[in-house]
Chains A and B, each alone.
Chain A
């Protein structure tokens, strides 16, 4: 019965409306069909019919083919018709052959051919259009669907010059309070809509607080506001909210959606970006400080260039701002032009969408299909970004970050680098000196001591621990080297006889040296080849393990000393048998090269810039002398002595180390020396592993180039070279030919030039959207031909001008918008308005909005008392030196936190599970408007997740310790969670629930029942629509 009545009233409403239509005329028809911005008699055709004709008909019934002599590409043709006569009889769909054909009721007169069919709604639209007169502009369909050309563009609404429009004045307007209201009222009036009443103060403070801070108001704040009877109370509230740091966190997050912010790079292995958070914090702070929007944009495009003339503190911020460009999804496994065109595609598309509201990305492969953006425009911008150096975050093939811009100016870097090198060389010197002192005291030490323990070996026997030997190896007095520059002159050396190639000696250095810490490695060995006549070889090896990874290799025959240069054996010099030589090698483990000397007591041969063996893993912890040399043959007899591997330079050949002298107290001295050396080494390591200055994930200037057009977007197929310039439709200014920069500075200026009408319109619309849930243009990142037209074009321009004329202050826009009456409307229904404008496009009420992912989590943490309001620092990513992520083993982490959600680690490829579940922005692309989904998996989270239960427990506890009386507790709970006073019915329901639940909980064996009941009640409040939506 009830249903019948409401059905009846609906029908009645429709009837009444039809009656009105006749009298009010066309405008109302428009609003009925949902076309609000349109004012033309051809709208029905443009919106519904033209696309159908173009899609289904004109390919065969157009200029090219004209099957059955019928053309549907212009009214002049379909009025004549084809062999069956005119297809359309205006006003009479039932007599129109077109309709008969598309309904496909007669198989031999059915269109389109084959299994394709028009949808019922398409058929309905054509039928309606014919019934209402089949009106269409007398132009060619296909021609007018071509892209806007530059001339047409200047007349297109979004490209039109920005001017401050007059504020409409309506004598009957008793409703408006601000100019914004006057625009709104004017449109409502024209559509015969009446705004609903103003909202109550409780709802208003909750709306404003969530809107500006993403958090709920506290009961105290609500109370203060309710008691403030000053007519300016709301403005005071808005000002208070705007001054909080929560405001920056909330509105910064909006921009981070647009900026496609994430904390990981996004290629297959999704490398973490340790510095990303600095850009995030920069955005938050920029909103907090109300940085003028034009400056905000300029700094994000060219902060590093603008930084040149600034102070140190500002420099840091400006470089950080360029994170906007760098922060997008990356496609590269390594730094390589092979991949970079995709990074550029991301940045051009993102700059277009976020700042200009244009889908520039479409012009990558060909001129934009609809908008006046050519492929030339695209590659003109491409050149600017190709002339820029991009921070490389790390990837599968190159696992370490590179080219991150420093947060201090170049001259400061230079100074810091010099200072650092000074400190390091000073440290190295100290370590060396102390090392020498130590050698004097300690015979056991590796470097300068008694020959790696060789002096302790027994004469006439094979080498024992810590050495390893096999075959004919003997400790002999006459195998003692005459050199004493590395180890003091001793009493013995080792003779290795001939035998299998695998025989020989080996020493494992504990610990060995690694390229990471030890940039320079020094190696010494003295050798003498036996006087035999066989043409054979032996080898000296240094590297990791038993030839697991070779650093350097030398091969010695009777007359030649060979060294390995990369993969090739190279003759260093001719040598003699029965002659002692000392080989000193200095390995640069960074450049993977080595140099050194081969000396006799009287002569030296230097060699330099030899490559270590390719593929060396940077570790040197093993010396071997065996028989695998540069050629085949019997292994030669040789004497070996004075082996050393150090990180400090070796003494020159002529120096002589005196044998250690043990004295009383030398053990204590040694201990002190060891400590000092260890401390110095630690300091050295710390300095070496820390970057000379802090860096940011941003960009810097590179080599200026003009890019070639890539035909069909393929980087191998190049077309003309295009000078760097701005979009032609926005003036097309060029980067001066002789200019030595990338052109980003110019781009930053062009983007924010007040003569560019898009930038201000786009941000004004975004701000409006973030306040009302929907923009005046509902496609916030597409202001092009295929985007939606504004519902209130004059209001949009008024807001854009208001922004520009008030120094681009976003906070000023907040104030003027929130002061308006339209912002303060109730979200209640109006049956009449629901029929005329169900989507509330014309703003006859405030549209209720669901809490977004961040607000929901933050609000739950806030009301439970668990929210940590401090600003966290960097994410706890694993140490960069351990990074080995690959497409097979990508980086993945979820870090727990009670901070505001904007600070959660946002992973690009495997998104944060909570944020993903509740539709946070996908960081792979610039997001102008979030999806809003309602799924059962979300409900499961609300019902059963550990998080919601934990917050409910804390909330129940908070309620219990704050108030004693049950009814008061319920009221307090409503106030904290919903910001409202419960109705009598709600109080009753709650009371009854607490009673019944606690006794049922006792039955179910869950504690004393009461505590559980309050926790359950807290959960209900936290998951009910009054909490999850903002009115």
Chain B
């Protein structure tokens, strides 16, 4: 057991790995909504405004990397496919792809000089979630669950709302070597979001009787023992599950929301899926104490991976723009934004250049991309980090995925260097041996 886990047990006095735990230091945020845009979002078409790229459109440059190969490649600059305007008090640049998000930009901190190590989808997705592009490691949500536990024992601590599996499948939200209760519970938007949540017996009374006999038999057995954590936990898990049968449907009950709220998220009548639904459910879940909610917008196909035609970004942006803006506004009007960290990221950006000046698509680009954060003690209306004149390399105040992870943990009061787990002979961290908290973006 790590020193940290030991301390937590001393604090909570329990062995339950999901019980709420004290953070390392005082936290700015209590929960995270992590939005993942699958496929690789073009930074120069969304948040990273590059006038030189427009001016020098069609000019050739020498790229140092192309399709995962190093070398010198003559390529042609391609201007953004959408116009940009400045929004909010600080004039943050946002492209026409996000008309709604630009309305709440004063709450958003745009990170324009993100970079990561991998330009493949599988590895990029794993790295964005686990810090490791190559090996199976616990997801950021699992680390947070491990570090802080959860305050609502009737719901899982880490939930993932995704219509389809992303690249790397369930490894994306896997707990790997962390105890399995920290793995993300995958919820597929639709009528049956949590498996086996519906009782199969005719009445609640009947189920209560069944669980009553179960408890009686278990307690008879238990009376022979003073202390058996696993047996105790199993007994308790039935009680939590019983609670979940009503807590989860209640949490997912959209009928409790008024028309105005649904409107904010762009949810139409009778909608039980879609990204608006995901965003609204994220608010409802964090409201009910779920520690970490991840939203994945698409899946491993028909996503932001616009190799052939960037025009597809329009459809994908439209899918998420209003829901995300609605989420931020809704959290804010309920006074929840302050303590809820919203993070938006993707596996990598897309090349500001291509094989010909008229090429309609863009390729994978991991040297520079954009992520953003909102709420949770992060400065709003800030554009942090600068890329070079064409958006090819992250130049000033660059931030690696590890830094983003370190910052997320930091806002939750967790020191990324101290949140460790002993596995296979060494202490593992989310940030491996890297990561710096982005103090400049914090309030």
Chain A interface (Cβ < 8 Å from any Cβ of B): 115-117, 119-122, 267-268, 270, 329, 331, 342, 345, 353, 359, 362, 369-370, 716, 779, 781-782, 784-787, 828-829, 831, 834, 838, 848, 850, 887-890, 892, 909-911, 913, 916, 919, 922, 924-925, 931-946, 949, 983, 985-986, 989-990, 993, 996-997, 1000-1001, 1004-1006, 1012, 1016-1017, 1019-1021, 1023-1026, 1028-1029
Contacts and interface: CB of A to CB of B under 8 A. Distances in A.
B196 A997 contact: no
B180 A919 contact: yes
Nearest to A370: B425
Contacts, number: 226
Nearest to A928: B424
A943 B300 contact: no
Nearest to A985: B220
B260 interface: no
B214 A911 contact: no
Given A121-B3, A888-B301, A1025 B206 contact: no
A750 B229 CA distance: 43
Contacts of A949: 200
Contact of B226 (A829, A922, A1019, A1023): A829
Given A919-B180, A936-B237, A1026-B221, 5 more contacts: A910-B170, A931-B179, A939-B240, A997-B210, A1001-B202
Contact of B196 (A359, A911, A941, A989): A941
**What are the 6 A-B residue pairs with the smallest beta carbon separation, nearest first?**
A933-B180, A939-B241, A786-B425, A934-B233, A888-B301, A268-B122
Given A829-B225, A933-B181, A1004 B206 contact: yes
B226 A831 contact: yes
A990 B213 contact: yes
Interface in B262-297: none
Interface stretch (B161-169, B365-373, B385-393): B161-169
Interface in B221-249: 221-222, 224-228, 230-231, 233-238, 240-245
Contacts of A1017: 213
A1000 B205 contact: yes
Contacts of B177: 931
Given A828-B224, A888-B300, A934-B230, A267 B122 contact: yes
B218 interface: yes
B301 A779 contact: no
B104 interface: no
B218 A1024 contact: yes
B203 A1029 contact: no
Q: How many of chain B's residues touch chain A, expressed as a range?
A: 35 or more
Interface string B170-195: 11001011011100010000000011
Contact of A940 (B170, B197, B217, B231): B197
B406 to A, nearest CB: 13
Contact of A989 (B213, B233, B425): B213
Given A925-B136, A944-B199, A1016-B201, A1000 B206 contact: yes
Contact of B237 (A935, A946, A993, A1019): A935
Interface stretch (B4-12, B79-87, B355-363): B4-12
A268 B181 contact: no
A937 B206 contact: no
Given A848-B231, A933-B181, A1000-B203, A944 B196 contact: yes
Given A121-B7, A887-B122, A986-B217, A922 B176 contact: yes
Nearest to B39: A888
Contacts of A1019: 210
Contacts of A944: 196-200, 245
Nearest to B210: A1016
B418 interface: yes
A783 B418 CA distance: 25
Contacts of B222: 1025
A993 B213 contact: yes
Nearest to B198: A944
27 contacts: A120-B7, A120-B11, A121-B7, A268-B167, A270-B169, A359-B425, A784-B425, A787-B425, A829-B225, A848-B228, A887-B121, A909-B170, A910-B170, A925-B136, A933-B179, A936-B154, A939-B240, A939-B241, A940-B245, A945-B196, A986-B217, A986-B220, A993-B212, A1000-B203, A1006-B203, A1019-B210, A1024-B214
B261 interface: no
Nearest to A992: B213
Contacts of A887: 121-122, 167, 300
B10 A121 contact: yes
A362 B425 CA distance: 10
B303 to A, nearest CB: 8
A121 B174 CA distance: 29
Contact of B217 (A784, A829, A1026): A1026
B185 to A, nearest CB: 6
Nearest to B437: A115
Contacts of A922: 136, 174, 176
Contacts of B10: 120-121
A678 to B, nearest CB: 40
Contacts of A1001: 202, 206
A943 B207 contact: yes
Given A116-B415, A781-B424, A985-B220, A938 B206 contact: no
A353 B234 CA distance: 31
Nearest to A1021: B217
A934 B214 contact: no
A797 B329 CA distance: 66
Contact of B169 (A850, A889, A910, A1004): A910
A996 B203 CA distance: 14
A989 B217 contact: yes
A850 B232 CA distance: 12
Contact of B209 (A117, A781, A786, A1000): A1000
A1023 B214 contact: yes
A299 B231 CA distance: 41
A634 B24 CA distance: 83
Contacts of A985: 220
Contacts of B212: 993
A892 B217 CA distance: 40
A117 B25 contact: yes
B223 to A, nearest CB: 10
Given A787-B425, A937-B156, A1020-B213, A268 B168 contact: yes
Contacts of B6: 119, 121
